[in-house]
Amino acid sequence: MSALSNAPTPTEPTKLNFRRYKEGDTKVKRWQEQIFQASFSHKCPTYIQSTPPCQGSCPAGEDIRGYLAIARGTEKPPAGMPWQEYAWRRLTEANPFPSVMGRVCPAPCETGCNRNEVEDHVGINSVEHYLGEYAIANKLAYKKPDYSSGKKVAVIGGGPAGLSVAYQLTLKGHAVTVFDEHEFLGGMMRYGIPGFRTPREILDAEIQRILDLGVQTRLKCRIGTDVTLAEIRADHDAVFLGLGAQAGRALPIPDCAAPNIVTATAFLKAFNDGRLQHVGKRVVVVGGGDTSIDVATVARRLGHIEHAKPTDMEAAIAGQMAQDVADISVKQGAEVTLTSVFGIDKMQANKHEIEQAEAEGIRIMGGWAPLGIVRAADGRATALRIIQCEAKFVGLKLEIKNIEGTEQDIEADLIVSAIGQAVDFAGLEEFDNGKGAVTADKNYVVGSKPGTFAGGDVIRPHLLTTAIGHGAIAAEGIDRFLRGEEQERRPKIDVHVFDMMRKMVVEKGLEVQDNHQPMRGTDSSKVGVHNFENRSDRYVIPHEQLFLGHFQYVPRVRRKIITLDAKSALGNFEERLEALDEAGAIAEAKRCMSCGMCFECDNCVVYCPQTAVYKVKKAESTTGRYVATDYNKCIGCHICADVCPTGYIQMGLGE
């Protein structure tokens, strides 16, 4: 396959059906039989705003439904503002890295998308990617706050959690200084992900946008060496620990230390620093997550050197240059094998990345566990001994059962452990909870240490987008602390939600009730929204509550992906993922079913037999506030609720 081919990935996606039926269903049922029942009840329609499952699944808590509504044209931008900017500003209320996350986030939001029950999920990640690219191309900037609290916050660690909290706190008017031991900011976004997945100019642009708000930095500054924690506490009103987990975990086998056995984090940092120029001819990666795929694909691209000295690659990973050999030797393709205790179909890595790795000639062996090391006389590893296994989670504990008699050796010049990450607590030992992490509550307050907060991998290694979400929540807690307020109880569904009531005040100047309680019996008053309840903080609307018959089959608009083969991957560090164009982004946003929020389809108005449901006056309407009910006419037939595609109308008034 050509390096520039846009052909489908090796595993063709299953052909999608127009509608999914339960096992045994053989006939298409008439929707009319479900909807049109000549009946009445004491219940009348209420308007319930719920959280869509995409948003409930997003660790960063993005208002996904909100920015997709802007992209599709349901919610209009302010006069003179392009829709892309308005959507980007809505998106970045939660996540200041849309262009990076649009490339590397495994998109749990898409797994949760209710559209999967129709034909295929909405390409949320691809729209986010488009908006991030638009913002960079058009040099969009955040609006600086016009308020200064006079409070100072120290952020230890310039990765996704630290930069997220710095961004949010600066917008709230606090002065923030980020301390980081590296030369550049970005943490795992820079030092843990290869540049062909996160182009450095893109990462730099999104970081610079945060710094332009006034965030200060102290780089190449090691806590405990260049500055003490006591000095930081003395100079700042609060401290956030976002130091990440950039130390790798060794293989879970005894006596596994050898010069050519390294961790994934050390390997990727050496590559991203430019120190690692080649690998051995035979590379074995132990893992199964996205990091292990990154290691394997980097190793495949680097290739090996025909006449390299045995210790050159180890020296590069350890921090020394091996340019002299690299410059004069011929690179050839490395043989890369990736082993995982899980079967390939159960591996934690993104399915797309697994397919790309296999297309590039990387051998993936699922269902194998490391057992031991085969060594040469000089102590270097020559092979990894593995054994077939069965792995499964029992609760949160991983249980691995080895199958005796299945042992085999995989020859290796370099072995990379990509089984997890660990926190380096040097200089910050007081925060180690004894399990290699920091303990914090739901507001990310570190217990018994007032004014100290934490977030990201230092709590539990997870996704980059999870760290971004931690930063946003911690910033709210820090803000409350700096204001001398008690920490609030976090909502059950802790995400950024669309505030329709606030929009009514700002846009229409209407009187509204500022609470989360049902506004019952208010249909004849001048209050902006009657019989409305916002359940976004506690209810994720399932697909069973939607009228799926409204939605026609619309195939997903896919981004172009450059698939490499074993030959073309060698030395190719170009980006493989292309952003959607404007038309593609709009078309994909239009596939959003707006779960839990009105999107102005008119079904309820058209099908109401009593003409009880009506469109509100333009002067009183806004996003989500499109129809109302005349309860003098309503007989409780529930047709409006039955034909509501989004589940926004529910029968409840009168209970």
The CATH number of the domain holding residue 292 is 3.50.50.60
- Do 413 and 432 reside in the same domain of the chain? no
- Do 112 and 241 reside in the same domain of the chain? yes
d(CA 68, CA 494): 20
d(CA 93, CA 66): 11
- Do 356 and 218 reside in the same domain of the chain? no
- Do 79 and 213 reside in the same domain of the chain? yes
Cβ atoms within 10 Å of 260's Cβ, excluding its own: 22
- Do 505 and 643 reside in the same domain of the chain? yes
d(CA 227, CA 8): 52
Question: Do the Cβ atoms of 14 and 624 come closer than 8 Å?
Answer: no
d(CA 442, CA 65): 25
Number of domains observed in the structure of the chain: 3
Q: Looking at residue 93, what is its pLDDT?
A: 96
- In DSSP notation, 477-494 reads HHHHHHTTPPPPPPPSS-
Question: Do the Cβ atoms of 537 and 492 come closer than 8 Å?
Answer: yes
Query: Last residue of some domain: 374, 405, 422?
Result: 422
- In DSSP notation, 217-270 reads EEES--BTTTB-HHHHHHH-SEEEE-----EEPPPSSSS---TTEEEHHHHHHH
Ranges assigned E (strand) in 367-458: 368-375, 381-394, 397-402, 408-411, 414-417, 421-422, 452-454
Q: Which of 133, 115, 137 is nearest to 124 (CA)?
A: 115
- Do 378 and 435 reside in the same domain of the chain? no
In a domain, 549, yes or no: no
Eight-state DSSP code of residue 283: E
Q: Looking at residue 5, what is its pLDDT?
A: 39
pTM (two decimals) = 0.83
Q: Looking at residue 354, what is its pLDDT?
A: 87
Over the stretch 86-112, which tens digit does the pLDDT of each residue have?
A: 999 999 999 999 999 999 888 889 988
d(CA 521, CA 363): 65
In a domain, 368, yes or no: yes
d(CA 539, CA 520): 19
Query: Last residue of some domain: 497, 527, 552?
Result: 497
Over the stretch 350-386, which tens digit does the pLDDT of each residue have?
A: 888 888 889 888 899 999 999 999 999 988 999 999 9
Q: Looking at residue 325, what is its pLDDT?
A: 31
- Do 493 and 520 reside in the same domain of the chain? no
Q: Looking at residue 320, what is its pLDDT?
A: 33
Q: Containing domain of residue 460, as a range? A: 60-245+423-497
Cβ atoms within 10 Å of 614's Cβ, excluding its own: 14
- Do 42 and 129 reside in the same domain of the chain? no
Q: Give the chain's largest Cα–Cα span.
A: 91
In a domain, 331, yes or no: yes
Cβ neighbors of 51 (< 8 A, separation 6 or more) are 493, 495, 497, 535, 536, 537, 539, 540, 541, 596
d(CA 112, CA 149): 39
Cβ neighbors of 395 (< 8 A, separation 6 or more) are none
Which amino acid is located at 301 in the chain? Answer: R
- Do 380 and 489 reside in the same domain of the chain? no
In a domain, 552, yes or no: no
Over the stretch 544-581, which tens digit does the pLDDT of each residue have?
A: 999 999 999 999 999 998 877 777 777 777 888 899 99
In DSSP terms, 388 is beta-bridged to 368
d(CA 535, CA 13): 36
Q: Which of 47, 49, 51 is nearest to 493 (CA)?
A: 51
In DSSP terms, 47 is beta-bridged to 532, 649
Residue 364, φ and ψ in degrees, nearest 5: -110, 125
Q: How far is CA 614 from CA 550, 604, 605, 627, in A?
A: 20, 8, 6, 5
In a domain, 550, yes or no: no
Q: How far is CA 650 from CA 47, 240, 497, 598, 608, in A?
A: 6, 43, 20, 12, 14
Question: Do the Cβ atoms of 131 and 84 come closer than 8 Å?
Answer: yes
Dihedral sign computed on CA atoms, order 408, 409, 410, 414: positive
In a domain, 585, yes or no: no
In a domain, 578, yes or no: no
- Do 490 and 440 reside in the same domain of the chain? yes
Q: Looking at residue 579, what is its pLDDT?
A: 93
Q: Looking at residue 232, what is its pLDDT?
A: 95
Q: Looking at residue 327, what is its pLDDT?
A: 32
Q: How far apart are the first and last CA of the chain?
A: 63
For residue 177, the surrounding DSSP H or E stretch is strand 175-180
The CATH number for 637's domain is: 3.30.70.20
Q: Residue 532 has which token pair?
A: 């409305």
Q: Which residues of the chain have pLDDT under 50?
A: 1-11, 35-38, 310-311, 318-330, 514-516, 519, 528, 655
Q: Which of 111, 104, 109, 112 is nearest to 129 (CA)?
A: 104
In DSSP terms, 391 is beta-bridged to 400
- Do 84 and 143 reside in the same domain of the chain? yes
- Do 316 and 458 reside in the same domain of the chain? no
Q: How many CA atoms lie within 13 A of 486 on its CB side?
A: 2
Query: Last residue of some domain: 368, 389, 422?
Result: 422
In a domain, 349, yes or no: yes
Q: Looking at residue 2, what is its pLDDT?
A: 39
d(CA 163, CA 184): 12
